[in-house]
Amino acid sequence: MQAGDRKAGAVEWRAYWPLTLAALVGYSTIGLQSYGIGPFVPHLEQAFGWTRTDVMIGLSLSNAVGVFLNILIGMIVDRFGPRRVALTGLLVKTGSFALLATATGTLLNWSLLWMVLAVGVVLVQSTVWTSAVAARFDHSRGLAMAVALSGTPITAAVVPVLATWLIGDYGWRVGFVGVAGVWILATFPVVFLFFRDGRKPGEAAQVVAGPVPGLTLREGMRTAAFWRLLVAFGAFSLYNMAMSANLVPLLSETGIGPMQAARIASVMGLVGIVARLTVGFLLDRFPGGLLGAATQFLPVIGCAILLLDAPSVLLLTLAVACFGIATGAEIDVALYLATRHFGLRAFAALFGAIITFGAINAAIGPYVAGWLHDRSGNYDGLLVTVMVAMTIGAVAMATMGRPKHDWRLEAH
């Protein structure tokens, strides 16, 4: 980064840091179901006589619905701007998470509740928040996106412990409502006050037609970079959803107590915050594909550790730290590479298409994890599956190459 770039980046931060902070707070909502369901699993199994597959089918359904909505939401954001989508999404997401407390014990009821939650998931997806940030940051875009996306590591650090405490003291039904209540009270006021992309309703479409540089949806989907990102993000989504939802019960099966398992799982979020900010800083200085490959390979190491016989608490923490680095960094890398390779003209729609493939894998992940556990009585099959998927994803990232066009805002 040149001295002029550093000065320009500082100017961007002075002008738009409230927007980035609001995006961070709002995006934390995306992980409520994936990081929050783990502590509820044994209680739902006990209350309704369900298998682990039964519990996880809801999470799979919520991700499957995204297959049909992600591109549409991206197009709406590109046309009308992200603010209205974001505010609506916060209400729908937290409200539908609270509704999980009304589960009756039938799988039909459980599935319908998760399909309602799925609408909230797509309304708070990453492109809703990063489209506004990318439109305001150019010289410091990597770090700005990293800060905006640091909400998920916070969720990963807080929700397992919060949910475990609420369930232990008040029961699982209060746990769902309590987690949702804490999150809407913490997020909605901040987003309402500070998440503004500076455009009037309808102006986004005019911008797309004019000065905003980049490829159209059709042009972007014809590039090799699009398909490499698709593969890498698909592998990451399978890993992320399967591991985040099952991490607490997986750790508990090593012989430690539920609260200790929740505390170790929270390391994933704490490490993820540091990793996301560090990688965001590095993205403005080093090739994003190589950074993505390095972080995407770390879960392979973490899974190898968990496959050891009776790993110590220290080794369990190290494995979770590997997961945290990958989870904290990978989506930031993918979004950054998308803006650099495709520009901003159809950024939300293009990344919505990538998220769609990710949603398919995210839908498969929890169900496969539950099925493998019910079949074998352990998580070894899941760990091996994750190792294979993330190795493929790391190779896709490593071969991204440099952007063929300069889509920086100042160049147009």
**pLDDT reported for residue 3:** 53
- Taking the C-alpha atoms of residue 347 and residue 217, their distance in angstroms, rounded to an integer, is 8
Q: How far is CA 256 from CA 25, 171, 321, in A?
A: 32, 21, 17
Within 13 Å of residue 264, how many CA atoms lie on the same side as its CB?
24
Q: Domain residue spans in the chain?
A: 19-403
* Structure token pair of residue 264: 């170790």
- Taking the C-alpha atoms of residue 211 and residue 213, their distance in angstroms, rounded to an integer, is 6
How much of the chain exceeds pLDDT 70, in percent?
Answer: 93
- Whether the per-residue pLDDT at 205 is higher than 60: the answer is no
**Residue that wins the pLDDT comparison between 323 and 409:** 323
Residue-wise DSSP of 293-356: HHHHHHHHHHHHHHTSSS--HHHHHHHHHHHHHHHHHHHHHHHHHHHHHHBSTTHHHHHHHHHH
- Whether the per-residue pLDDT at 206 is higher than 50: the answer is no
| 6 pLDDT tier (thresholds 50, 70, 90) | low
Q: Which CATH number fits domain 19-403: 1.10.3720.10, 2.130.10.10, 1.20.1250.20, 3.90.1150.10?
A: 1.20.1250.20
**pLDDT reported for residue 197:** 67
The answer to whether 174 touches 101, Cβ cutoff 8 Å, is: yes
